[in-house]
Structure 1
Amino acid sequence: MKNLQEWMEELGLNHNLHLDDIPEIDLYMDQVIQLFENKFSRSKRNEDEKVLTKTMINNYAKGKLFFPIKNKKYSKEHLILISLIYQLKGALSIGDIKSTLDGINVKIEKEEIDLEAFYNSYLTIHTKNAESFYEELKLHAEEVNEGIGNMDDPLLEQILMIASLANISNMYRRAAEKLIDELPASLKK
C-alpha cells in the first residue's frame, strides 16, 4: 500500500463546512449546492459523483430531515443540518438520519438549542476522530501486514485491508444504529 500519510490526505477526511464558510445571508438552492461542491469536492470518490443535488435537497425537505425553508431560501441553520446530513448519509439510512435529527429540528423550532455551538462541538469531535482514525489505520495496516505473513502478495494485502476496514465500519454503523434505536420514542414519529 502506498505511503499511509499520503493516502490519508487523499481521503479528504478533514474537509468540513465550518461556520465561517457559511454566509450570514440566506441562500437559494443553487448557491447551497455550489457552496457544498466547493467545500467537499476533494472528498468525492470520483469526478462523476455529486456532493449535493437539487433532488437530494428536495428529498431531504420532503422527508422532513430539516425544518421548513422560507421563501425558497436556506438559512445558516439549514446549511448546518445539510452538512450533518451529508456526513451521516455515508453510514446511515435516510430514515435513521431523520430519527437522529428529529430532536434537533424540534429544538430549533422551539428555539431551545444553540445550533452553532452544537455544530462547533461536532466539528471538534470530527477533527479528533480523524486524528484517531489515522492512528488506528496505522495499527490496522500493521495487523494486516502481520496477517498476510510470508505470502508477500500486495493484492492479497490490499484485499485483507479492505475486509478489515469494512468489518470495522460495520461495527461502528451497528453501534450508531443501536443508539438511534434507543432515542426517545417521542422523537420517532
Structure 2
Amino acid sequence: MEKLEKFIESLNLQNQISLIDVPEIDLYMDQVIQLFENKFKDSIRNDDEKILTKTMINNYAKSKLFFPIKNKKYSKEHLLLISLIYQLKGALSIHDIKETFKGINRMMADDESFKLDRFYSSYLELCNSNVANFKEDIKERVQEANSEVIDLETNESEYLEKVLLIASLVNVSNLYRRAAEQLVDEIIEIEAGKKEKN
C-alpha cells in the first residue's frame, strides 16, 4: 500500500493554476509560457514534452478558444481560460473546446456581471473533489486488477497486473471522455437553438 501511495503522490494530481498564481497585471506571451512551465514542470512525463508554446497559444487564439487579447498582453481572464484549455486538451478536440467555451467567451464580451474567476474557483473545487475520489478509486482498481491476476495463476503476475490496470484506467478515461463529448454536443444543440430563435 505504501508503494501505491508513492505512486499516487508522483502523479502531482493537485497541480493546477490557482487564482493566487495568476497576477492581476496583464502578461506578455513569454511570461504566460514561463508561468505555465513553472507550475506544470513536475507534471510532464519527459523533458521533450512541451507544456505550452507560442505556437499553441497562437493556435488557440486563431481557433477563437478565447476572446481577443489587447496590446499583445494576456489578462487574468485569458490565463484562466488558457489553464482550462491546457486541462481539456488531453481529452477533447480543439473544436470541442471551442464549442464548450463559446458561451463563456460571449459572456466575457457581453455580460459585465459574469466573473470568470468565480467560475474558475468552482472548477478548482470540483478538481479537489475529483482528486479525493480518484485516490479512493485507484486503490479499488489496483485491488481488482490484483484479484484478476491471481486467478490467472501465472509467474508474470506483476507485469499482467500492470497491463490490466492500464487497460482498466484507459477504459474509465474513455467512458468519461465520451460523457464529456456528449455534453459538448448538447451545448452545440442549445447554441444552435438560440440562433434559430434569433
Q: TM-score, normalised by structure 2?
A: 0.91
Q: CA deviation at 1:2?
A: 7.7
**Which secondary structure state, in structure 2, belongs to the residue aligned with residue 161 of structure 1?**
helix
1:32 is matched with 32
Partner of 1:16: 16
1:11 is displaced (CA, Å) by 1.1
In the alignment, what sits opposite 1:93?
Answer: 93
Match of 1:176 among 177, 180, 185: 180
- Per the alignment, residue 161 of structure 2 pairs with 157
Deviations 1:77-123 (A, max 9, x none): 00000000000011111111111111111111112411111000000
8 A contact 1:27–1:73 mirrored in 2:
yes
Once the 2 structures are TM-superposed, how far is the Cα of residue 151 of structure 1 from its aligned partner?
2.6
| Aligned equivalents of 1:134, 1:156: Cα separation in 2 | 22
- Aligned residues of 2:149 and 2:161 also touching (Cα < 8 A): yes
Alpha-carbon spacing, 1:51–1:130, altered in 2? closer, same or farther (3 Å): same
The 8 Å contact of residues 99 and 188 in structure 2, kept in 1 or not, is answered as: no
5+ residue gaps, structure 2, are none
Distance in 2 of aligned mates of 1:82 and 1:147: 41
Number of the residue aligned with 2:109:
109
Q: Is the 8 A contact 1:66 1:78 kept in 2?
A: yes
Rounded Cα–Cα distance in structure 2 between residues aligned with 1:105 and 1:42: 30
Deviation at 1:187, TM superposition (A): 3.6
* C-alpha contact 1:33 1:53 (8 A) present in aligned 2: yes
Larger Rg: 2
TM-superposed CA distance for 1:186, in Å, is 5.7
Question: Which residue of structure 2 lines up, in the alignment, with residue 56 of structure 1?
Answer: 56
Q: 1:166 aligns with which of 162, 166, 170?
A: 170
Any conservation in 1 of the 2:26–2:74 contact (CA below 8 Å)? yes
Give the percent of matched residue pairs that are identical in Structure 1 and Structure 2: 59
Q: Report if aligned partners of 1:92, 1:173 keep a CA contact under 8 Å in 2.
A: yes
Asked whether the 8 Å contact 1:99–1:187 carries over to 2, the reply is no
Q: How many residues of Structure 1 are paired with residues of Structure 2 in the alignment?
A: 189
Q: Distance in 2 between matches of 1:154 and 1:16?
A: 32
Partners of 1:101 and 1:151 lie apart in 2 by: 49
Deviation at 1:16, TM superposition (A): 0.6
- Gapped runs of 5+ residues in structure 1? none
Taking only aligned residues, the RMSD between alpha carbons, in angstroms, comes to 1.6
Q: 1:112 to 1:181 in 2, by over 3 A?
A: farther
Cα distance between partner residues in 1 of 2:68 and 2:190: 20
- Partner in structure 2 of residue 3 of structure 1: 3
